[in-house]
């Protein structure tokens, strides 16, 4: 099975007054049909920039994809012109944003905001589009859709607005849905409902989802595979089981270690020391080395390549080199891994600490 | 909604009564007799006759009551200067050119300003943006009579493209309109630019882009309406300052409007005309504020609903 979307060696830079911010520094991943790939990492690690590049939404003129390919249906999205990107956006790939309170146009009826995308890409008439908009509102679980379709966003709660945004994103049956922290701004109960809705719809429509989050609890709930991002790079990628039960990168250890679980409430949470590097001047070698207890001399000299651990699992750390000393994850992390294996995670609604 | 408008109109009336009362008594506090400036020295006897004729010999409360009752019936009294011409007549005579000039300047100025502000925002941080910004600062900081003088000197006196004064046809309106519209245009341009930039950076514009909406549709369908909402709030105060602007502009271009009459009446101590004009200006100011509020509700659904509920 060939992947729906393939990102190869993606580099994105921003020109700022202070210099060039290297927001994304060589990202590689594939997205398979019908799967959910989670991208996790602290804020500032380049998750949003990566996802925006996939849609050609990097703010111009200061932002730019300087290198790499985004292969989708035999074309390289990184090389498309704005006009061609417009045809693709919202139809083949669509996006859900973090804050439902601000992502709908306050002066446009909710129905019209859904109809717009239908009339644009599917060339529906106004009447057909409205009918379809009502169906979509129903699909995303909004009661009285035929009444709600004529209302304005301020008449909807946050959770309901996010459902509307999902309806907009799904209107044209996209092959890829990018959800950039879609539940971060919502209450825990609403969060769970939105996640259920997304899983439900994915089953019905077989959409491939890129799910961006800094919440590992959410990852365990929705994802098939996980990519861990740090300082503009993917440092570890694998199935949910690979990442949660057999993590290899010290940064992933840190993320798992800092995740609160029910039976670890009393214990002191493990926190990753230090702060992420300044992407204006990314460090030489492994960007995580300065914060890692397991850094080797070579980490400060040369960035590690991706080492393959299994068919599904790889990680970029020199610890996986055959000459490296054999290092086990810290005790706190091991305990948590074991806890998760036992209780299938328990309640994993924790945040990554350093957000 | 109807209830809301009705309530606003009641408030308007109360405000007007207060303004009328205040102007009435303030005028009574002014020193001297209204007839002292006529020129010829009046004997005490002559003055008494005049005072009686205009009802100025009666006790103050009676004068006040009469004035208010008459005004409620649309009678603003008679002028002290123009052979007893009713004030309403004088005002109606003068209203036409002022309304024409004011409306023309306001409409053209606002529309041009909004367009300019939008262009500046779209071409953010380019020379187009910078030059429109400089123009806006000039337009806001330099008073309209300076432009009026310059326009009159160059376009009327030196190059003789437009007539320098009077009000005898469309071509006569060009220079005063330009002089008067520069300020609203500059204010609108600045406001529109700021609002537009803010709106263009908002999440819902990014979502619209993520939907594949074309850039032009994003500008006109999504951004413009939202950027216009705050701009509407300045329309009220701007119209008011425009009306004060006409006072001077009409003088400079000898436009036979209310403003020119108002200035003349002040010089001549023609109290009934001053009061009548003040009342008319008040009515206009208050109506403008109401209209702007209604307009605001029309364009912003969030206000419309809360307005309808109360
Ligand atoms: N428009 C921009 N201009 C300059 N720098 C930017 C811009 N957008 C993002 N960045 C930088 O890119 C890096 C990655 O940001 P982002 O992808 O938003 O992180 P996150 O993982 O939290 O989504 C950050 O260092 C951020 O400061
Ligand atoms: Mg982000």
Q: Supply the DSSP string of B77-120, one letter for each residue.
A: -B-TTTTT-BHHHHHHHHHHHHHHHHHHHHHHHHHHHHHHHHHH
User: How many structural domains compose chain A?
Assistant: 2
List the 34-93 stretch of A: residues with Cβ below 8 A of B.
Answer: 55, 57, 82, 85-91
For residue B245, give its domain range: 87-303
In a domain? residue B248: yes
Ligand 1 pocket, residue A63 CB under 6 Å: yes
**Do A72 and A218 sit in the same domain of this protein?**
yes
Question: Is the Cβ–Cβ distance between B285 and A89 less than 8 Å?
Answer: no
Q: Tell whether pTM > 0.95.
A: no
Cβ neighbours around B219 below 10 Å, total:
19
Q: What is the dihedral of CA A236, A242, A244, A248, to 10 degrees?
A: -50
Write the pLDDT tens digit of every residue in B67-117: 888 888 888 888 877 777 888 888 888 888 998 999 999 999 999 999 999
Q: Which ligand is nearest to the CA of A98?
A: 2
Choose between B265 and A55: higher pLDDT. A55
Nearest CA owner, ligand 1 atom 16:
A46
For residue A331, give its domain range: 245-345
Nearest CA owner, ligand 1 atom 17:
A46
**Do A13 and A138 sit in the same domain of this protein?**
yes
In a domain? residue B28: no
What pLDDT band is residue A355 in, cutting at 50, 70 and 90?
very low
pLDDT of B39 above 60: no
User: How many structural domains compose chain B?
Assistant: 1
In a domain? residue A239: no
Q: What percent of chain B has pLDDT over 90?
A: 34
Closest-CA residue of chain B to A103: B204
**Do A61 and A200 sit in the same domain of this protein?**
yes
**Do A93 and A192 sit in the same domain of this protein?**
yes
A133 and chain B: CB distance < 8 Å anywhere? no
In a domain? residue B71: no
**Do A152 and A219 sit in the same domain of this protein?**
yes
Distance from CA of A64 to the nearest CA of B (A): 17
The arithmetic mean of pLDDT across residues B30-36, rounded, is 63
In a domain? residue B201: yes
In a domain? residue B224: yes
**Do A161 and A297 sit in the same domain of this protein?**
no
Q: Give the CATH number, domain containing residue B257.
A: 1.10.3720.10
In a domain? residue A120: yes
Mean pLDDT of chain B: 85
Write the pLDDT tens digit of every residue in B227-253: 998 888 888 888 888 888 888 899 899
In a domain? residue B288: yes
Ligand 1 pocket, residue A46 CB under 6 Å: yes
In a domain? residue B169: yes
DSSP B60: H
Q: Give the CATH number, domain containing residue A111.
A: 3.40.50.300
In a domain? residue A187: yes
Residue B203 and residue A99: Cβ atoms within 8 Å? yes
Looking at beta carbons, which residues of chain A come within 8 Å of B202?
Answer: 102
In a domain? residue A237: no
Give chain B's contact residues with A (Cβ, < 8 Å).
202-204, 206-215, 221-222, 225-226, 229, 299-302, 305
A116 and chain B: CB distance < 8 Å anywhere? yes
Joined together, the tokens standing for residue A60 give 């111009």
**How far, in Å, from the CA of A43 to the mean position of ligand 2?**
6
**Do A260 and A172 sit in the same domain of this protein?**
no
Residue B302 and residue A105: Cβ atoms within 8 Å? no
Write the pLDDT tens digit of every residue in A37-82: 999 999 899 999 999 999 999 988 889 999 999 999 989 999 999 9
In a domain? residue B247: yes
Considering only the beta carbons, identify the residue of B209, B215, B300 that sits closest to A107.
Answer: B300
**Do A66 and A197 sit in the same domain of this protein?**
yes
In a domain? residue A351: no
Mean pLDDT of chain A: 89
**How far, in Å, from the CA of A23 to the mean position of ligand 2?**
11
State residue A265's pLDDT score.
Answer: 53
Give the ipTM.
Answer: 0.88
> Considering just the CA atoms, what is the radius of gyration of chain A in Å?
21
């Amino acid at each position: 099975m060939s992947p729906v979307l393939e990102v190869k060696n993606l580099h994105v830079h921003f020109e700022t007054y202070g210099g060039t911010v290297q927001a994304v520094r060589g990202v590689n991943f594939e997205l398979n049909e019908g799967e959910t790939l989670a991208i996790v990492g602290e804020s500032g690690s380049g998750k949003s920039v990566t996802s925006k590049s996939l849609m050609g939404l990097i703010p111009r003129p200061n932002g730019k994809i300087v290198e790499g390919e985004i292969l989708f249906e035999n074309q390289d999205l990184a090389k498309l012109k704005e006009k061609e990107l417009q045809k693709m956006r919202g139809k083949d790939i669509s996006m859900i944003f973090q804050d439902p309170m601000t992502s709908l146009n306050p002066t446009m009826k909710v129905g019209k905001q859904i109809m717009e995308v239908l009339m644009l890409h599917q060339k529906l008439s106004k009447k057909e589009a409205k009918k379809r908009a009502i169906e979509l509102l129903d699909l995303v679980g909004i009661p009285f859709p035929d009444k709600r379709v004529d209302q304005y966003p301020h008449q909807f709660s946050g959770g309901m607005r996010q459902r509307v945004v999902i309806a907009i994103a799904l209107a044209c049956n996209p092959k890829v849905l990018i959800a950039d922290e879609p539940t971060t701004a919502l209450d825990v109960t609403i969060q769970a409902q939105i996640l259920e809705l997304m899983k439900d719809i994915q089953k019905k429509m077989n959409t491939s989802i890129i799910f961006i989050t800094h919440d590992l609890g959410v990852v365990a709930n929705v994802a098939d595979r996980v990519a861990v991002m740090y300082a503009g790079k993917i440092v570890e990628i694998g199935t949910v089981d690979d990442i949660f039960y057999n993590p290899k990168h010290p940064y992933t250890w840190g993320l798992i270690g800092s995740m609160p679980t029910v039976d670890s409430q009393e214990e002191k949470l493990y926190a990753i020391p230090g702060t992420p590097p300044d992407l204006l001047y990314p460090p030489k070698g492994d960007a995580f080395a300065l914060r890692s207890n397991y850094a080797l001399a070579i980490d400060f000299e040369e960035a590690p390549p991706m080492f393959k651990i299994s068919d599904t699992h790889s990680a970029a750390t020199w610890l996986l080199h055959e000459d490296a000393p054999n290092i086990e994850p810290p005790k706190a992390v091991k305990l948590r891994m074991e806890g998760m294996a036992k209780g299938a995670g328990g309640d994993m609604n924790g945040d990554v600490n350093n957000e | 909604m109807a209830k809301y408008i009705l309530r606003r109109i009641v408030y308007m009336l109360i405000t007007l009564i207060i303004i009328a009362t205040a102007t009435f008594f303030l005028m009574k506090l002014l020193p001297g007799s209204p007839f002292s400036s006529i020129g010829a020295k009046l004997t005490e006897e002559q003055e008494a006759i005049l005072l009686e004729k205009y009802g100025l010999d009666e006790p103050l409360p009676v004068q006040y009551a009469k004035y208010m009752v008459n005004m409620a019936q649309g009678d603003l009294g008679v002028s002290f200067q123009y052979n007893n011409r009713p004030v309403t007549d004088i005002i109606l005579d003068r209203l036409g050119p002022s309304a024409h000039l004011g409306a023309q300047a306001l409409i053209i100025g606002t529309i041009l300003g909004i367009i300019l502000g939008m262009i500046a925002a779209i071409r953010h941080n380019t020379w187009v943006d910078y030059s429109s910004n400089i123009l806006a600062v000039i337009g806001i900081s330099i008073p309209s009579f300076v432009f009026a003088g310059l326009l009159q000197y160059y376009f009327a006196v030196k190059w003789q493209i437009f007539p320098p004064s009077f009000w005898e046809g469309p071509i006569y309106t060009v220079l005063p309109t330009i002089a008067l519209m520069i300020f609203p245009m500059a204010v609108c341009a600045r406001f529109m630019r700021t609002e537009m930039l803010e709106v263009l950076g908002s999440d819902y514009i990014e979502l619209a882009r993520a939907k594949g909406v074309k850039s032009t549709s994003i500008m006109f369908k999504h951004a413009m309406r939202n950027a216009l909402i705050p701009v509407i709030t300045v329309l009220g105060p701007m119209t008011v300052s425009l009306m004060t602007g006409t006072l001077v502009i009409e003088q400079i271009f000898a436009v036979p409007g209310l403003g020119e009459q108002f200035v003349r009446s002040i010089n001549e101590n023609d109290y009934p005309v001053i009061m009548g004009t003040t009342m008319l200006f008040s009515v206009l100011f208050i109506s403008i504020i109401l209209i702007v509020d209604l307009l605001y509700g029309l364009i912003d659904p969030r206000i419309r609903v809360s307005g309808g509920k109360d």
